[in-house]
Amino acid sequence: MATTKAAKAAYTQDQARKFYETMSTIRHFEESIKHDSLAGEIPGFVHLYIGEEAIATGVCAALRNDDSIESTHRGHGHCIAKGADVNRMMAEIFGKKTGLCEGRGGSMHIADFSVGMLGANGVVGGGYNLATGAALANKTVLKNDKVSVVFFGDGASNRGTFHEAMNVASAWKLPIIFINEMNCWASTTPYRTTCNLENISDRAAGYHIPGVIVDGQDVFAVYDAAVEAVARARRGEGPTFIEAKTYRIEGHFVGDPELYRTREETQKIFHDTDPLQMFRKKAEKLKVMTAEECDAVDADCVEKIKAAKKFAMESEYPDSSEFMKYVYVD
Amino acid sequence: MRELTFSQATCEAMAETMEKDDKIFVMGEDLARQGGIFGQFKGLPEKFPGRIIDTPISETFIIGGGVGAALAGARPVVDMHFADFIGVAMDEVFNQMAKARYMFGGQAKVPLVLRAPDGMTFQGAAQHSQCVEAWFPHIPGIKVVAPSNPYDAKMVLIAAIESDDPVIYFENKILYKEKGKLPELADQVPYTLGKARVEREGSDVTIVSYSIGMKNARGAADLLAKDGIKAEVIDLITLSPWDKETVLNSVKKTHRLCVVHEAVKQGGFGAEISATVAEEAMEYLDAPILRYGAPFCPIPFAPTLEKMVRVYPEDLYKGIKGMF
Amino acid sequence: MATEVLMPKMGLTMTEGTIEEWKKKEGEAVRAGDILFSVATDKLTNDVEADTTGTLLKILFGEGETVECKTVIAWIGAEGEAIPGAPAASAIPAAAAAPAAPAATSPAPQVSTQTAERAPGDFVLAMPYARKLAKEKGYDLSRISATGPKGTVVARDVESFTAGPKTSPMAAKLAAELGVDLTGLNADGRVMKADVLAAAGKAVAETRSVPAGVQGSNDEAPQKVDPLRRSIAANMTASWLTSPRVTYTHPVDATAMKDLRAKLKDGLKERGIKLTYNHILMKVAAKALTEFPDINSSFGDNLLTHHTHVNIGLAVAKGTGLIVPNVKNAEAKSLAEIAQETEGLIAATREGKLSMEDMTGGTFTISSLGPYGITNFSPIINQPELAILGVCDMVDTPVVRDGEIVIRPMMNLCLTADHRVVDGVMASKFLQRLCELLENPYMLLV
């Protein structure tokens, strides 16, 4: 099993600024969603990505626009990081006609095919085979050099689909990257109570896939690991498994009574490992971004999300008479 | 006119479509080296190297990977070996394949064909003999077809492959070896998904079936003809979306309906046809609807037991006689 | 294959039945749904329908014989068919085994045509398409002979029913109600309402002019009464001979009861429940009976059997007879539940859909003649119960209250009690308690 190398010294200021902008956008987006969901303005279930922003940001920064990702039910962060329009995302989550899925999907099925975000998935562990199939198609049928990524949590790694996809990906050296967001919680169940493995990436060895562990709170580290995995995939050398260690700060869904843990516990972890704060420290050390510059980005993001909310609120709901649209192509 | 088996006809459909569109590829178990366990892919691996892919025994990947490949822009045809195994990958069928287009607001297309060999043959017993087609017309977003003869086998498969929607293609294992006439290539008529065919016109009773059930429908119609009863025989061909209009128009003419399939009667597709006719053409019925299917029992192994879950033309003949 | 006819088990308590009458003879054609025989139990006499079509091949038990439930009492099958366990029938070719008809004949009916023998207004078994055709042609379905399976009218029956004249739908309906045979009508073109009325008048006149009975006698020919009447006759005689009874009458001021109903009825109506005085009386009686366990009992062989629950019967007129279905566990039920259940039982009684369970197991009965202006009567106990409450008309009556004459709705309650168990004091106290509860219905809450 490989481990993370020390972060590369050379990051451009543009790169750093992009990292922080993405993470701050996700953070503010999620906080706005949380507020509106608790206020009862958002229909349905929403699952927040707060505290895990560095993973989607670091991975997607290593991808091209035409590379594709398969996301999870906790998918807003992946969607933003892959470049989706936040206005249309917000509209979708509010169930509006201007939403990315024209109100057919909502939070759990958010997708933006134009940026290679092939969909959040309401079924835990539903994405592996889709991403692997996309990788197969790209490599052997469409014959291009696109890379597929599948994000999944620790809970999802216990699904049988995990095995089927990992086996095929390795057997055929498919251009796919498995990104495990090890956030310690499978819904309300602590991960270690249902699996006798400290590191899920240990499983990668069983398929002859390189397994890498990174600090999922450190966007630089995630990015470095992803860059290497993407290069390997494009070279035709096959899949990489990246286990990003993180922690689910919010409840499983907005409104989760969280009877299984205390608020103090999560707040302490958040205080110690908030990826945005970690970025600020590291960026200052690397001299790629100052605290003032970060503050300015945050301020922009607040405005951006306010505008997104306004866009969503001002949008119409889909016309009821069109509920059958998109069941079939023809 | 040429004579081909059902199995050869499906091969022709594959070859014709694959030649035209190199985004089409095939994956499943035992295809590349063996040509499919029923010979339904014979010759294709040589003709299209690299495009007929042998997978591991991983049904969730075969179907889920097919969906992913379709989302990425390819046009997969995936093979389930035996229709009985679809259950292993049911999530991939009804939560992924069926829903991707709708829940992503039309951003996705899933041009995928899932080939599913079904039905009783060679004493396959409980897990290799089932007809499970009725599970799928209950799922919006999927199309379901079940042709009954070689010509349809070819044209329906072409239509399924060319469709931008996911299609489950049920092919009966007994029918593979059945021969039938096909027109020359220039004369073949494309099939439109969702259309039934009135195979035989009649005035006294409508018999509706599909796939191997059509053997019963035709057999019963022959027996009835000897008694002067003219049966109208309808081959449904597509189960979802199914051709209500053709069935309703026929029942309005004959005033009697008999539906038959090899699948278990309870909850079978015949129930949907019967219920629709009862809902929309009750006032035209001059006899209670007759429904034939297998008894509510897993497919047994021993020949003496297996024959008990089959439907025979004589059953339909007797039942239909009782309608008059 | 021949089908067996069994002695039916009508309800949990029935163990045997007596064949009262065979309505079909051996060798006669029987259609599913035809009345085949009547069977008497200790409760009731019921008509039993055939559930198969064919010929009544053999009757194994004659009229008057008592047979255990589920015993084979007859066989129905194809004409000439041998019945199981019997020596082979003589060599009559079985109709059912006829070989397939030569090709090119039209679909042949499997059942021989039978004239419809239905009473006007009976539900006619007919396929939807036959109904549609009959309606379009203005035919009365009940007059069309059925040749379809199970005696069902099918399209060809309607199509071949061309002998009769064309009839307006109104005329057809009226003809069915009045029992006028349309085929005999000599109308020009279409039969209209007036033609049917004219024919009906003629028919009545003809009936009156026909003398009946033996010439020179004052008596008309005796007629066998229906099974229900026979059952009532037997039960009432048995009760008269069993119970040494006394009837006690107590007036009750119905003001509070009227008030209670007035306050509750609209609310219940919104829930689809109709509330009547009988329901209130049932509720009150149930409460009082829990306080007088000896009355909620039965007696025989010097043994007194107390009943755990109060099952209150209500005498319901059915046609020209009377049936007493009962509400089970009435002491535990709310007024709304009692009302709802009672109305259900009344409807079932009138539609002939009561089950044996509904009619058995009663522990007390209420009989109301109030609607007929009766102010006093002596009801007969419904055996094996020990008492019955007669409810009389409510009459506005001047009474003295607090030294003043006021008008109050007064009603007599007449309790007939079996003196073998219920002495005068107990009966009077029970009746007094009923009145107390009716005049102060809030006491039901205690």
With CB atoms and an 8 Å threshold, state whether A146 touches B72. yes
Residue C136: its chain B contacts at CB < 8 A? none
Q: Residue C351: is its pLDDT beyond 90?
A: no
Residue C127: its chain B contacts at CB < 8 A? 285-288
C174 located within any domain: no
Phi-psi region of C311 (alpha: psi -120 to 50; beta: other; left: phi over 0): beta
CB contact B48 to A (< 8 Å) = no
Give the model's pLDDT for residue A133: 98
What band does C21 get if pLDDT is binned at 50, 70 and 90?
confident
C217 located within any domain: no
C391 located within any domain: yes
Measured between alpha carbons, how far is C383 from C235 in angstroms, rounded to an integer?
8
List all chains that touch chain A, counting a touch as 3 or more CB pairs closer than 8 Å: B
CB contact B51 to A (< 8 Å) = yes
> Domain with C378 in it: what CATH number?
3.30.559.10
Strands B24-28 and B52-54, bridge-based pairing = parallel
Q: Rounding to the nearest 10 degrees, give the CA dihedral for residues C184, C190, C191, C193.
A: 180
Residue C323 is encoded by which pair of tokens? Answer: 């049936």
With CB atoms and an 8 Å threshold, state whether B101 touches A129. no
CB contact B60 to A (< 8 Å) = yes
| Residues C357-403 pLDDT 10s | 888 899 999 999 988 999 999 999 998 999 999 999 999 999 999 99
Q: CB C162: neighbour CB atoms within 10 A?
A: 10
Give the model's pLDDT for residue B26: 98
| Domain count within chain C | 2
- Give me the DSSP letters along C147-162: -SGGG-B-HHHHHH--
Residue B220: its chain C contacts at CB < 8 A? none
Q: Which of B268-282, C21-35, C180-194, C317-331 has the highest mean pLDDT?
A: B268-282
Measured between alpha carbons, how far is B294 from C364 in angstroms, rounded to an integer?
53
A6-10, A305-309, A320-324, C132-136 — which is least confidently predicted? A6-10
Q: Domain residues for C318?
A: 245-445
Choice among B12, B29, B81, B128 that is catalytic: B128
Q: Which residue has the tokens 């459909």?
A: B13
With CB atoms and an 8 Å threshold, state whether B64 touches A137. no
C374 located within any domain: yes
- The question of whether B59 is a catalytic residue gets the answer yes
CB contact at 8 A, B323 and B251 = no
Q: Residue C92: is its pLDDT beyond 50?
A: no
C233 located within any domain: no
List all chains that touch chain B, counting a touch as 3 or more CB pairs closer than 8 Å: A, C
DSSP A177: E
The pTM of the full predicted model, rounded to 2 decimals, is 0.67
- The question of whether C423 is a catalytic residue gets the answer yes
User: Which of the two residues, B284 and C42, has the higher pLDDT score?
Assistant: B284
Name the residue among A225, A229, A241 with its Cα closest to residue A152: A241
> Domain with C58 in it: what CATH number?
2.40.50.100
Q: Of the candidates C104, C129, C149, which has its C-beta nearest B322's C-beta?
A: C149
CB contact at 8 A, B62 and B27 = yes
Across chain B, mean pLDDT equals 96
Q: Of the candidates B67, B95, B102, which has its C-beta nearest A327's C-beta?
A: B102
CB contact at 8 A, C78 and C30 = no
DSSP C324: -
Give the model's pLDDT for residue C201: 66
With CB atoms and an 8 Å threshold, state whether A134 touches B68. yes
- What residues contact residue B29 under an 8 Å CB cut-off, 6+ apart? B54, B55, B56, B57, B62, B79, B81
C12-21, C248-257, C406-415 — which is least confidently predicted? C12-21
CB contact B225 to C (< 8 Å) = yes
What band does C261 get if pLDDT is binned at 50, 70 and 90?
very high
A5-14, B78-87, B223-232, C392-401 — which is least confidently predicted? A5-14
Which of C55, C77, C99 terminates a domain? The answer is C77
Share of chain A above pLDDT 70, in %: 97
What band does C187 get if pLDDT is binned at 50, 70 and 90?
low
pLDDT mean over B165-191? 96
Give the model's pLDDT for residue B270: 98
Share of chain B above pLDDT 70, in %: 100
With CB atoms and an 8 Å threshold, state whether A101 touches B108. no
Measured between alpha carbons, how far is A247 from A274 in angstroms, rounded to an integer?
10
Measured between alpha carbons, how far is A290 from C315 in angstroms, rounded to an integer?
95
What's the complex ipTM? Answer: 0.94
Q: Which residue has the tokens 């073109």?
A: C189
Residue B278: its chain C contacts at CB < 8 A? none
With CB atoms and an 8 Å threshold, state whether A113 touches B108. yes
CB contact B91 to A (< 8 Å) = yes
With CB atoms and an 8 Å threshold, state whether C104 touches B282. no
| Residues B205-224 pLDDT 10s | 999 999 999 999 999 999 99
Give the model's pLDDT for residue C190: 66
β-pair partners for A212: A2, A242
Residue C155: its chain B contacts at CB < 8 A? 255, 286
Q: Of the candidates B227, B286, B324, which has its C-beta nearest C129's C-beta?
A: B286
Give the model's pLDDT for residue C114: 43
Alpha helices in C192-334 (DSSP H): 193-209, 227-242, 255-270, 277-291
Which of C25, C52, C77 terminates a domain? The answer is C77
CB contact at 8 A, C350 and C318 = yes
Q: Of the candidates B225, B226, B286, which has its C-beta nearest C127's C-beta?
A: B286
Give the model's pLDDT for residue C38: 87
List all chains that touch chain C, counting a touch as 3 or more CB pairs closer than 8 Å: B
C165 located within any domain: no
Helix, strand, or coil (residue A215)? strand
Taking the CA of residue C103 and the nearest CA in chain B, the distance in Å comes to 5
Measured between alpha carbons, how far is B214 from B260 in angstroms, rounded to an integer?
8
Q: Residue C86: is its pLDDT beyond 50?
A: no
With CB atoms and an 8 Å threshold, state whether A129 touches B67. yes
Taking the CA of residue B27 and the nearest CA in chain A, the distance in Å comes to 11
Q: CB C60: neighbour CB atoms within 10 A?
A: 15
Q: Of the candidates B56, B72, B91, which has its C-beta nearest A142's C-beta?
A: B72
With CB atoms and an 8 Å threshold, state whether B284 touches C127. no
Measured between alpha carbons, how far is A191 from A2 in angstroms, rounded to an integer?
22
CB contact at 8 A, A179 and A81 = no
Q: Of the candidates B25, B103, B165, which has its C-beta nearest A141's C-beta?
A: B25
Chain C's closest residue to B288, CA to CA, is: C127
Alpha helices in A235-290 (DSSP H): 263-273, 275-286
**At C434, which amino acid appears?**
L
Measured between alpha carbons, how far is C446 from C287 in angstroms, rounded to an integer?
10
β-pair partners for A68: A148
Q: Residue B271: is its pLDDT beyond 90?
A: yes
Q: Tell me, yes or no, whether chains C and A touch by having 3 or more C-beta pairs under 8 A.
A: no
Give the model's pLDDT for residue C129: 94
Give the model's pLDDT for residue C41: 74
Q: Of the candidates C105, C107, C132, which has its C-beta nearest B204's C-beta?
A: C107
From the candidates A128, A163, A170, A328, which should be mutated to test the interface with B, based on the most B CB atoms within 10 A? A328
| Residues C47-64 pLDDT 10s | 888 888 888 988 888 888
With CB atoms and an 8 Å threshold, state whether B163 touches A330. yes
Q: Residue C105: is its pLDDT beyond 50?
A: no
Measured between alpha carbons, how far is C254 from B12 in angstroms, rounded to an integer?
91
Give the model's pLDDT for residue C170: 65
Q: Residue C121: is its pLDDT beyond 80?
A: no
From the candidates C110, C127, C141, which should be mutated to test the interface with B, based on the most B CB atoms within 10 A? C127
C230 located within any domain: no
Helix, strand, or coil (residue B24)? strand
C155 located within any domain: no
Give the model's pLDDT for residue C172: 65
What band does C186 get if pLDDT is binned at 50, 70 and 90?
low
With CB atoms and an 8 Å threshold, state whether B64 touches A100. no
Chain C's closest residue to B230, CA to CA, is: C107
Which of C16, C44, C77 terminates a domain? The answer is C77
Helix, strand, or coil (residue C408)? strand
Q: Residue C11: is its pLDDT beyond 80?
A: no
From the candidates A98, A104, A164, A173, which should be mutated to test the interface with B, based on the most B CB atoms within 10 A? A164
Residue C106: its chain B contacts at CB < 8 A? 228
* A28 burial level (CB within 10 Å; 0-12, 13-18, 19+): buried
- Give me the DSSP letters along A259-273: TTS-HHHHHHHHHHH
Chain C's closest residue to B254, CA to CA, is: C129
Across chain C, mean pLDDT equals 81
Among residues 137-156 of chain B, which lie with CB inside 8 Å of chain A? 140-141, 143
Residue C110: its chain B contacts at CB < 8 A? 321-322, 324
